């Protein structure tokens, strides 16, 4: 599954002004409010925040990949945000986070969930790609950058 197929302008925030980690996660979950695949936004929020309490999803290099499984979604959903000012996220490298990719899957979507997380992790390993995402001024631009990178990744596999 292409990550760019999970995203649209409605679930992308550029330059999000954020406070604490829980607040920003909650605000990114709110981006999913119009998704037909989400049946209970509060249950999704709880699942993501509960998963985050188990272990931080701050993967380093200014990136966080909060994710969860929830019966409150009928299909995999995602959201993406760049943060105006980096925020502490208990990341493995102890650096603040400025890019957050949220993924929520149905309980039976284990293999798809892992494939998507793996794919976004590979993409985020490119410092140039991360820099381009941070320079995006609009959700459309951010989505175009992601789609282009994903296409290049597919062509080189």
Residue 17 burial (10 A CB sphere; 0-12, 13-18, 19+): exposed
| Domains of the chain as residue ranges with CATH | 3-156 (3.40.930.10)
Active-site residue, 67 included: yes
Give residues with Cβ within 8 angstroms of 5, minimum separation 6.
none
* Average pLDDT of the segment spanning 107-131: 91
Q: In the chain, what percentage of residues exceed pLDDT 70?
A: 97
54-97 confidence digits (pLDDT tens) = 999 999 999 999 999 999 999 999 999 999 999 999 999 999 99
Given the residues 21, 67, 69, 113, select the one marked as catalytic: 67
pTM beyond cutoff 0.75: yes
6-15 confidence digits (pLDDT tens) = 999 999 999 9
Check if the beta carbon of residue 153 is closer than 8 Å to that of residue 119: yes
């Amino acid at each position: 599954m292409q990550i760019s197929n999970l995203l649209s302008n409605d679930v992308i925030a550029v330059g999000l002004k954020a406070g604490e980690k829980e607040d920003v996660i909650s605000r990114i979950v709110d981006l999913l409010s119009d998704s037909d695949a989400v049946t209970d936004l509060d249950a999704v929020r709880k699942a993501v925040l509960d998963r985050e309490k188990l272990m931080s999803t701050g993967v380093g290099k200014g990136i966080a990949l909060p994710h969860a499984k929830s019966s409150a979604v009928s299909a995999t959903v995602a959201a993406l945000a760049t943060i105006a000012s980096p925020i502490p996220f208990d990341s493995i490298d102890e650096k603040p986070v400025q890019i957050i990719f949220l993924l929520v899957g149905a309980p039976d979507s284990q293999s798809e969930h892992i494939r998507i997380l793996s794919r976004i992790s590979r993409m985020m390993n490119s410092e140039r790609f991360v820099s381009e995402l941070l320079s995006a001024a609009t959700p459309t631009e951010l989505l175009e950058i992601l789609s282009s990178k994903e296409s290049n990744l597919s062509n080189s596999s």
